[in-house]
Amino acid sequence: MTRHEFQLDAMAAGAPYRLLTALVVPRPIAWVSTLDRDGRANLAPHSFFTVASGNPPIVQFTSVGRKDSLNNIEATGEFVVNLASRSLLEQMNTTAATVAPEVDEFDLASLTKQASTHVRPPRVAESPSALECVLHRVIPVGDSFVVMGRVVAASVDESVLDGDRPMEWLLDPLARLSGSRYVTYGETISLRRPE
């Protein structure tokens, strides 16, 4: 196999970002809802997103640069990660528009606010699941900020549950590839781990 060896230090500004986001795929999308100090809602997708720890339950997303979501979380200490599903693709994309902080992306994308149970930021009613988070820590990393939130409550639509188990094919998750490409739920493989 002949490989191309990329030297990231020698690449033009922006090129390592494009390479990494093309190789680390697919990425789930945290659709982050927050409130500003005055109670105005904000909603934005973040695909630099994963579980940081199961015990305690902590999730993390990365704000590439300083954005409204990060500012609101630092100001209020709370956020909600709504999980984006395929049917919400267009609306999720609409909420990624660069708009003034006072613009409410719920309105922009015609989405419904639903009161959360443990935090003040509202959930996206149309999203089948939401993680209500209290700020754990913000870690500056290069030009970015890793935002960690302790999950204090999870809300899952009963129609996607089998007992208390989420059925991932009904969550119909949406994940990001590079650029403006996405992937949806497809072939799955079940494999036991070795003892």
Ligand X SMILES: Cc1cc2nc3c(=O)[nH]c(=O)nc-3n(C[C@H](O)[C@H](O)[C@H](O)COP(=O)(O)O)c2cc1C
Q: Which residues bind ligand X (CB under 6 A)?
A: 29, 42, 44-48, 62-64, 67-69, 93, 96, 98, 176
Least separation in angstroms between CB 86 and ligand X = 13
Cβ–Cβ < 8 Å for 152, 118: yes
**Spatial distance between the Cα atoms of 69 and 98, rounded to a whole number of angstroms:** 12
Cβ–Cβ < 8 Å for 106, 113: yes
Report the residue number, 69 or 85, with the smaller CB distance to ligand X. Answer: 69
54: which residues sit within 8 A by CB, 6+ positions away?
A: none
Least separation in angstroms between CB 105 and ligand X = 7
**Any bridge partners for residue 148, and if so which?**
60, 137
Report the residue number, 65 or 194, with the smaller CB distance to ligand X. Answer: 65
Least separation in angstroms between CB 101 and ligand X = 7
Least separation in angstroms between CB 189 and ligand X = 25
Report the residue number, 155 or 178, with the smaller CB distance to ligand X. Answer: 178
Cβ–Cβ < 8 Å for 68, 105: no
Question: Chain centroid to CA 168: how far?
Answer: 16
Report the residue number, 93 or 155, with the smaller CB distance to ligand X. Answer: 93
Report the residue number, 117 or 181, with the smaller CB distance to ligand X. Answer: 181
Residue among 65, 73, 122, 123 nearest 98 (CA): 65
Least separation in angstroms between CB 48 and ligand X = 4
